[in-house]
Structure 1
Amino acid sequence: MKLVVNRGLFIKAMSFVVEVANRHRLPILGNIKLVLDTDQLTLTASDLEVELTCHVLLPKGACQQVGAVTVPADKLFSICKLLPEDDVCFDASENLGRCHISSGKSNYSLATLPASDFPSIGQPNTQKSVKVSLDDLSGLLKHTRFAMATQDVRHYLTGLLLEISGQNLTAVATDGHRLAVAYRSLIESCDDTRVIIPGKAVSGLERLLLELAKTAQNGGLVELGIDDEFLYSALNFGQEMTINLTARLIDGKFPDYRRVLPTANDKIAVFDKDEMVAVLRRISVLNTKESPGVLLGFGSSDTATISSNNREQDEAVEVLPVSFTGQPIELSFNEGYLRAVLNVLEGDVRLEMVHPNSPALIYQVGDEHRHQYVVMPMRV
């Protein structure tokens, strides 16, 4: 293959897919697959759980010889970002096992692997298609993905549950210590469906949606294809670039999140989110991996006591304005878990409790989307 392409255009395409290549388990998965046709360049990265493919429409004359090759992703991306000229020439032959990169007076040569050896994640057989606004899908991911487990033998907890019922779309994430639930509406009604999307796909999709929002393409609409094995989406970044995301769904039974949502809470505290986050941030200075807890004490109708201590006998106590109703209660939370929930909320926040060792329900006052969060207290 031989290609002359604008460096900025190539770097933009690489930036969408290179992150997937950084998670490789096989040597060839550390490479980007480049396929050059007469009017299009296709870049593919995969870790066999998530596959990202970027299709770049080329101007006339850019393709000088069609072909395909795989090139080390990190080295290729780093070189291209530092090249001095606007145009970059790629000249590769699978037979020689090298890709020559030149720009102005700069010349590089990288070892390659055959494109035919690059594994495919598989071909989705889209059985269902759901349409949701870009803002709604971005909001779902933002308000839930932080609660996914990062490492857990219960592999289904490392993903995000998407539940479709008619025109209702629900996203749920939990790591066993906290639960996040968010609701949105689909553009059109769809058959009932429950799928678990792997965490790496959730992060990749959220990143793509943030970039897509800058271009205002697709009329603010995102279409997700779902079958028994894959989630698929094609995102249009203008006339010259399209990104395809394919993710292998997690096979497992997600917990019944509705049973976790507490309903008999009789102790209610309402406080300003920013004020609570500021207190938690200050108190966290004393927290350690062995002592991550923060104690919340409610008794007065208009103040709460927030305190923390550690094994070195350091201690912090702060008083926070609240509106509290119910019998006095003290309960301890993992400070990081509690602050992560508050960071996705705004304004006044409502904390509902029933017992020091029972799950607490947290949500934003006046939230039209009804985001709900559950945090398990720590034993004091």
Structure 2
Amino acid sequence: MRFTIQRDKLVEGVQDVMKAVTSRTTIPILTGIKIVASDEGVALTGSDSDISIESFIPKNQGDEVIVEIKQPGAIVLQAKFFSEIVKKLPTDLVEIHVENHLQTVIRSGKSEFNINGLDADEYPHLPQIEEENAFKMPTDLLKAMVRQTVFAVSTSETRPILTGVNWQVENDSLTCIATDSHRLALRKAKIETEGNDQYNVVIPGKSLNELSKILDDQNDLIEIVITENQVLFKAENLLFFSRLLEGNYPDTSRLIPTESKTEVVVGTKEFLQAIDRASLLGEGKNNVVKFSTIDGDFVEISSNSPEIGKVVEEIPSQTKDGEDLKISFSAKFMMDALKTLEGPEIKVNFTGAMRPFIIRPLNDDSILQLILPVRTY
């Protein structure tokens, strides 16, 4: 194998696939990156068996030559060393060639590295996926839906299914739901499906986080293929595979209250900043704050810490309907939820001091955040 490649493109591709490489693997070859040079260009692959990423660097982009293939071939190189080496090479062009017995030479300017490679035939194959059932959505919408839900997955392994985001596809609509049983995030959107596809799968939160970091903010369509135990995201020159979580996701529709006893509309930014300030003196590790409706066009946010002191703040509410209410909740959960909502105003619907409550942007039903209160009163 022998090829010359633009260093920047190589660094970019290596950084993408490194997101799937882990040092904690029982399969030693997975600590490496697989490099395959073919007549079309260079493919890099990283995997930790849960996530596999392939980044393809084509020979040409427009009129620009990116890769020059002198001899096709394949090799696996230690990811940790290879990624550090390519970042620090001195010139814009890198030559990589494999000599006998997997000895690999990496040359750039006057710098030359000799590295022991591993046999690429021993690297596990990427999952083979029948691509009949695919749907498409804009990349920036996918990233938004991940951002607005993935923060609410559980970090505890006691219920592994809750460490993922539930994706439900039906009637040209995708619904993403995440919950750690103390809060829930839900986002819906229209998508392009072929035929009347229906899916109900759970994608690990970790996979969605890594995918989101790799994808550019653009509205190019990304293709999503779901099978029994894998999901594949296909963007231009990028394949991202993730295993799906096994098991049934709990039916969360029962958790979402359909009635409301108290409804409050407040400015998103003012509310977020007031919660942030109150959290400074909030109780416990979740920084519990209290919220209460008071006379006039205001709501009160307060917190107290027996050792330190207390804080009370009033913020204006645009509207306030229904019963008076006092409720306590985790400031962290509330701030996480508010940061995902777009729009200047939010509507909060309460059904009582110890019942879950819902936060939505005003006039937008495609997203909701639900939080369970904390008992302090």
Normalised by the length of structure 2, the TM-score is 0.90
Amino acid at match of 2:300: T
**Match for residue 35 of structure 1?**
36
Correspondence for 1:165 among 162, 167, 170: 170
CA gap 1:99/1:314 in 2 versus in 1, 3 angstroms: farther
Matched, 1:206 2:203: no
CA gap 1:72/1:310 in 2 versus in 1, 3 angstroms: farther
SS at match of 1:62: strand
**Match for residue 125 of structure 2?**
120
**Match for residue 267 of structure 1?**
262
Correspondence for 2:93 among 72, 87, 93: 87
1:151-162 equivalences in 2 (<5 Å): 151-162=156-167
Correspondence for 1:342 among 335, 338, 350: 338
The Cα shift of 1:135 comes to 3.6
The Cα shift of 1:51 comes to 0.7
1:66-105 equivalences in 2 (<5 Å): 66-93=72-99, 95-96=101-102, 98-105=103-110
Return the alpha-carbon distance in structure 1 between the equivalents of residues 180 and 254 of structure 2.
Answer: 15
SS at match of 2:4: strand
Normalised by the length of structure 1, the TM-score is 0.90
The Cα shift of 1:315 comes to 1.9
**Match for residue 290 of structure 2?**
295
**Match for residue 357 of structure 1?**
354
More moved, 262-271 vs 277-286: 277-286
Amino acid at match of 1:348: E
The answer on whether the counterparts of 1:301 and 1:325 sit within 8 Å (CA) in structure 2 is: no
The Cα shift of 1:222 comes to 2.0
Return the alpha-carbon distance in structure 2 between the equivalents of residues 14 and 192 of structure 1.
Answer: 35
Return the alpha-carbon distance in structure 1 between the equivalents of residues 306 and 110 of structure 2.
Answer: 61
The Cα shift of 1:363 comes to 0.4
Return the alpha-carbon distance in structure 1 between the equivalents of residues 340 and 21 of structure 2.
Answer: 30
Return the alpha-carbon distance in structure 1 between the equivalents of residues 186 and 107 of structure 2.
Answer: 50
Return the alpha-carbon distance in structure 1 between the equivalents of residues 347 and 23 of structure 2.
Answer: 39
Return the alpha-carbon distance in structure 1 between the equivalents of residues 290 and 48 of structure 2.
Answer: 42
The Cα shift of 1:301 comes to 4.1
1:1-380 equivalences in 2 (<5 Å): 1-22=1-22, 24-26=24-26, 27-58=28-59, 62-93=68-99, 95-96=101-102, 98-188=103-193, 189-209=195-215, 211=216, 213=218, 220-236=220-236, 242-287=237-282, 290=285, 292-310=287-305, 312-322=307-317, 323-345=319-341, 346-367=343-364, 369-380=365-376
More moved, 289-298 vs 196-205: 289-298
The answer on whether the counterparts of 1:197 and 1:248 sit within 8 Å (CA) in structure 2 is: yes
SS at match of 2:280: helix
The answer on whether the counterparts of 2:286 and 2:332 sit within 8 Å (CA) in structure 1 is: no
More moved, 196-205 vs 164-173: 196-205
SS at match of 2:228: coil
CA gap 1:289/1:47 in 2 versus in 1, 3 angstroms: farther
The answer on whether the counterparts of 1:164 and 1:190 sit within 8 Å (CA) in structure 2 is: no
Return the alpha-carbon distance in structure 1 between the equivalents of residues 8 and 91 of structure 2.
Answer: 10
The Cα shift of 1:37 comes to 1.8
Return the alpha-carbon distance in structure 1 between the equivalents of residues 202 and 149 of structure 2.
Answer: 13
The Cα shift of 1:193 comes to 1.5
Cα distance per residue 1:131-181 (max 9 Å; x no partner):
223343233222211111223321111111111112121111111111111
Cα distance per residue 1:74-102 (max 9 Å; x no partner):
32222212222011122234724x43222
The Cα shift of 1:287 comes to 4.1
The answer on whether the counterparts of 1:49 and 1:121 sit within 8 Å (CA) in structure 2 is: no
The answer on whether the counterparts of 1:30 and 1:72 sit within 8 Å (CA) in structure 2 is: yes
The answer on whether the counterparts of 1:127 and 1:226 sit within 8 Å (CA) in structure 2 is: no
Q: Could you list the runs of 5+ residues in structure 1 that have no partner in the other structure? A: 237-241
More moved, 324-333 vs 263-272: 324-333
More moved, 301-310 vs 172-181: 301-310
Cα distance per residue 1:259-313 (max 9 Å; x no partner):
1111121111111110011112222333475352111111324112211223533
Return the alpha-carbon distance in structure 1 between the equivalents of residues 30 and 89 of structure 2.
Answer: 24
RMSD: 2.1
The Cα shift of 1:105 comes to 1.7
Amino acid at match of 2:41: Q
The Cα shift of 1:107 comes to 2.2
Cα distance per residue 1:288-347 (max 9 Å; x no partner):
753521111113241122112235333222211123222221111111111011001121
Return the alpha-carbon distance in structure 2 between the equivalents of residues 158 and 93 of structure 1.
Answer: 45
The Cα shift of 1:39 comes to 3.4
The answer on whether the counterparts of 2:283 and 2:289 sit within 8 Å (CA) in structure 1 is: no
Cα distance per residue 1:3-39 (max 9 Å; x no partner):
2111011112112211111464233222111111233
SS at match of 1:343: helix
Return the alpha-carbon distance in structure 2 between the equivalents of residues 40 and 138 of structure 1.
Answer: 28
SS at match of 2:307: coil
Report sequence identity in percent. Answer: 26
